[in-house]
Chain A
Amino acid sequence: MSRARGADVALAALAALVVTLPLSDLFTPTAAWARPCIVLVLAVALSGIGLRALTSVRPLVVAGQALVLVEAAALLHGQGHLAGGLLPTLDTARAFGVLFGEAYQTVTQYSAPAPADRGTTLAISVFVGLTALAVDAIAVTYRSPALAGLPLLTAFLAAATNTTAGLAAWMIVPPALVWLAMVGRQGVGSLRAWGGTVEVGSARPADPAGSFATVARSVGVLALATAVVLPGLVPHLPPTFLADGLARGDGGTGTGGSVRLSTSVDIARDLAERSADPVLVYRTTADDPEPLRVALLDTYRRGRWLSSSDATFVPVDGQLPGSSAGPEVTRTTERIEVTRSGIGLPQVALPANAIGAPFPAGSWRLDGNGVVELTAPAPSYTVDYEALTPTAAQFAGVAADLAVQDDLRVDPDAQEALAALLQRVTEAGQTPLQKAVAIQAHLRSSAYTYSEDLVDETAAGRRPEEPLVRFLETRRGYCVQFATAMIMLAREAGIPARMAVGFLPGRLDGDERVIRADDAHAWPELYFPQLGWMRFEPTPGVRSGVAPVYSSEQSAPEGSALPVPTSAPSASSSTPTRPRGDVTIDTPQGPRGTSTSTGVLRAVAQHWPTVLGVLGVLLVLALTPLGAWLARRRAQRRARDDAERVEAQWQSLLLRLGDIGLVPGDGATPRQASRELARAAYLTPDEGAALGRVVDTLERARYARPGADLPDVAPDADAVWRAALGRRRRSARVRALFLPEEGRRHWRSMLGRPGRTDAEPGRDEDASVR
């Protein structure tokens, strides 16, 4: 190996370029930033070659490359800020600082794909250049290509983690292949270096790297295959999975997979495709069941709902608190009996005013909003709750509790729009209940459209930044937007409000109700001092909840609002074509318990890149054996007589035995070859007899008068080959099965390239030395 090490340098540069592939999803147009990247990588690689030729002091080489990188970046991006048009100065540094600042702005402001302006182009190319420098220094200058995987992985992950939609599984393949090639080259090279001279008296020069290379190749191929196949088989983990803690994420509930509602709701997001798998099965005594609540979100910031409370406590009496309404409020106690819950820890679906102690002590606690968190799985439970039937008078009063002051906070960006809207919808002097009902009626009116796909632009072509304002202007959205709007309008009107996330009551199936994953829903809860938190339902549409009686009764006198539907969809509201709930759910996409063909088809459809990859790998694996088969068939077809057919079968047998390391001596007669093979392959007498029959037929084909009786030797030849194969090591067997020389020769001859031997395939064994 010379000090220049051209191939190593090329591989290192290629690796640095290949890991930037994921960036093409992040910045457009790709061409704008790709060119400077290539230039910087080339600068690093070429300067490395030159410097290594000049000096063997490694730190000097790396320092020199860094200087070249800086100079190249300055020439590329710092025009106008260079001394003499060539050398970078402090001014260049300042200019770069500004550009980096712009890049930061772009990255933080835009969602992918971001425009590739001057700042991002500089940042990306410097990032790629530094990666190239690190890889080149580690892999080539310090000759540790394995370690070069670290900067490569860093660069790859930096790009991969910033994609919103996730990276295609195959994206890891090119960098991994290039890295493996680097590692492989170094390994083979170093092994050859110390083993290359020892070959005294051996007929064929032993390649010392051979056995190691075989192992290394197997490990590499296996690792690569695993890296491709595994991500396809393992379900995609929710982004919050690690933060939530692995132990808590492992629900272990009775149903196939567990479902959890996202505890942060992004109101700017379109609804993703969701499954219709059952989540919860329960019986209830109520005629008109309430939605089941899973979480409460009270803080809205930049279009996202979060729960502000992270404190938890266990009530002293060990009982659920129930409603905070006074005893004067009429109530009935209802019961739900959950027979199967597929909701993942720590979430649990409960009616709003649950009472009693449905879970064993120590397996649950309450968070600051009074939402139950489980610490142990509860696949089935029975819980009582209070259904309030308040009178209109009981809604009176102004909330003055300090505890609910936070629930009056209105998003400042949307305040202006909210205030204007509120003024249109409500009238001064209305009671809080009247205001709330008016807001609900407004949102359920035909002015709003239920849609799972959000639009960015208003009819007037404006693009409001704040998602809530955008909703108020585009008037398209699903439950999250409707609930958010009602909450904010209520808060603007002085009524504390928060968002509840949970499930609609589901469908009746016999005497049981079944909640499916797409029954997920969000609704507002408004606070009234005498009653506590009361549910409202501003979302129109089929899959919306039933509006509470108290809110619909009040709506009758309001002439401006449309009648609120109770259980049937409103005629005025636009009906979504695909009815479904509308809160984001993290559903593990693992294999389900169903083993029907549709399940398989769905799995294939969901994991098509993996399936394609696996099929591709299988195809590649089958290619050479297929070539061997084709070669045999071709030889059989081309044989003009029995003698040529037998000859072809013999050559095929020799090649196949050669695959497992059984090669008869050069220029041996068939008889000698058969003796050598029988000895080397440890053939039993029976198998030896089979080989004897093959050889005898071959001898007659070759040396007897033409027209001799020549039986088909293929069965005997196959028997010999199988017997010999069975006594070799597994690695040799695998190689013989997947990479038969016969197949390789076939493809080589197909490609028009001459094989290793000068003679035509099958004749080399007998070529004379003359």
Chain B
Amino acid sequence: MSDLQHDPHASTDPTRGASLDQVLQVSSSLAGAMSSVIEGKQQVVRTAITVLLAEGHLLVEDVPGVGKTLLAKTLARCIDASVRRVQFTPDLLPSDITGVSVFNQDVRDFEFRPGAIFANVVVGDEINRASPKTQSALLESMEEGQVTVDGTTYVLPRPFMVMATQNPIEMEGTYPLPEAQRDRFMARISMGYPSARSELDMLELHGGVSPLEALQPVTDAATVQAMVEAVRTVHASPSVRQYIVDLTHATRSSAALRLGASPRATLHLLRASRAHAALAGRDHVLPDDVQQVALPVLAHRLIPTGETQMARRTTGDVLADLLQRVRVPAPTR
């Protein structure tokens, strides 16, 4: 992805150039700010920003202590927007997330008290520790950007992004995310351990005052919303759309997978590809963009067959194979 970062031949379409230029400019300052806290994780940072611009939700999955929460908090802090952090625990109730109607003695009526979800950026820590009932409270909000409590629908602010973290190793007292829930996340990323060099830098950096504290927002909610709007205008040619459909179809027909990608995955893939192209300063999507985002966007939605698991192949491996096999369609105009 790094080779796309400074695309020297970025198109400058005069009608939308300003917007896309702004996307490029803001996103690079965003990435710079985040990288000052998250050492040596450009790829992760970039995917996070891609998901933000694509109006998606991000699932950060990794072992404890690699900075999942830090990533979520950093992104939240870089944007001058309302940020809520929810620590998911087994006793967390759905109403804690969505909000609840309480009886107001003064006005003698029920009054809605918004839950943690009413923010531009919601950081859901250890999401798999909450009960499925609570997890599913997120469903409507993540998909539709709205919350319905007691028959009343409340629209969530824009932009809206859920960043959830989860720990895949710890099985005790966790409730794995149901497929429907996972499918609502646009991308899943793993932090991975930092390199020795980055870890050394980290010791130096985090030894004194936390850099997160010193971090200043580089943008605000309105700008991000404008960027999202700009990304929607990125052109995806018919052959690129065909390629995306070919890819998701290939996951469904693959013998190595029990569950393929959903139509929502197709949609997410297109949006992520657009955002990725916009981050490279391009006003059109290349098949290369699709390939770059396919793994984080699709891998967590797929369920491997028993044989695949026995062969110790992950869904990521299967996806890599499919990317090799599925040919880029001929340009059609």
Residues of B within 8 A of A696 (CB): 9
User: DSSP majority for the B interface?
Assistant: loop
The B-contacting residues of A in range 625-656, CB under 8 angstroms, are 643, 647
B11 touches A768 (CB 8 A): no
Docked complex Cα distance between A769 and B324 (Å): 11
The residue that B327 contacts in the complex, of A666, A701, A702, with Cβ under 8 A, is A666
Docked complex Cα distance between A7 and B275 (Å): 63
Docked complex Cα distance between A348 and B79 (Å): 111
Docked complex Cα distance between A672 and B291 (Å): 11
B288 touches A669 (CB 8 A): yes
Given A666-B327, A669-B328: A705 and B284 interface contact (C-beta under 8 Å): yes
Residues of B within 8 A of A708 (CB): 11, 13
The residue that B283 contacts in the complex, of A702, A704, A706, A766, with Cβ under 8 A, is A704
Docked complex Cα distance between A116 and B13 (Å): 87
Residues of B within 8 A of A769 (CB): 325-327
A431 to chain B, nearest CB (A): 109
The count of chain A contact residues (Cβ–Cβ below 8 Å) is 26
B333 touches A706 (CB 8 A): yes
A667 touches B285 (CB 8 A): no
The residue that A703 contacts in the complex, of B285, B324, B326, B327, with Cβ under 8 A, is B285
CB-based nearest A residue for B237: A703
Docked complex Cα distance between A669 and B325 (Å): 12
- Does B161 sit at the interface, judged by CB under 8 A? no
- Does B89 sit at the interface, judged by CB under 8 A? no
Residues of A within 8 A of B240 (CB): 703
Given A643-B333, A763-B330, A769-B327: A671 and B9 interface contact (C-beta under 8 Å): no
- Does A699 sit at the interface, judged by CB under 8 A? yes
A668 touches B328 (CB 8 A): yes
- Does B35 sit at the interface, judged by CB under 8 A? no
A704 touches B11 (CB 8 A): yes
Given A706-B333, A766-B330: A700 and B288 interface contact (C-beta under 8 Å): no
Residues of B within 8 A of A223 (CB): none
The A-contacting residues of B in range 216-258, CB under 8 angstroms, are 235-237, 239-240, 246
CB-based nearest A residue for B327: A667
B20 to chain A, nearest CB (A): 12
A766 touches B246 (CB 8 A): no
The residue that A705 contacts in the complex, of B235, B286, B326, B331, with Cβ under 8 A, is B235
- Does A424 sit at the interface, judged by CB under 8 A? no
A761 to chain B, nearest CB (A): 12
B9 touches A767 (CB 8 A): no
- Does B32 sit at the interface, judged by CB under 8 A? no
Chain B 314-333 interface 0/1 with A at a Cβ cutoff of 8 Å (1 = within): 00000000001111111101
- Does A753 sit at the interface, judged by CB under 8 A? no
A201 to chain B, nearest CB (A): 15
Given A696-B9, A700-B284: A767 and B239 interface contact (C-beta under 8 Å): no
A766 touches B328 (CB 8 A): yes
B329 touches A692 (CB 8 A): no
Chain B 7-18 interface 0/1 with A at a Cβ cutoff of 8 Å (1 = within): 011010100000
Residues of A within 8 A of B287 (CB): 669, 703
List 6 additional A-B contacts (Cβ < 8 Å) besides A669-B291, A692-B9, A699-B284: A699-B286, A700-B284, A702-B331, A703-B235, A708-B13, A769-B327
Would you mind naming 8 contact pairs between A and B with Cβ atoms under 8 Å apart?
A: A647-B331, A669-B287, A671-B288, A703-B331, A704-B283, A705-B284, A768-B329, A768-B330
The 8 lowest CB-CB distance pairs between A and B, nearest first, are: A667-B327, A766-B330, A696-B9, A702-B331, A704-B284, A669-B287, A703-B237, A705-B235
Interface residues in chain A, defined as those with a beta carbon under 8 Å from any beta carbon in chain B: 643, 647, 666-669, 671-672, 692-693, 696, 699-706, 708, 763, 766-770
Interface residues in chain B, defined as those with a beta carbon under 8 Å from any beta carbon in chain A: 8-9, 11, 13, 235-237, 239-240, 246, 283-288, 291, 324-331, 333
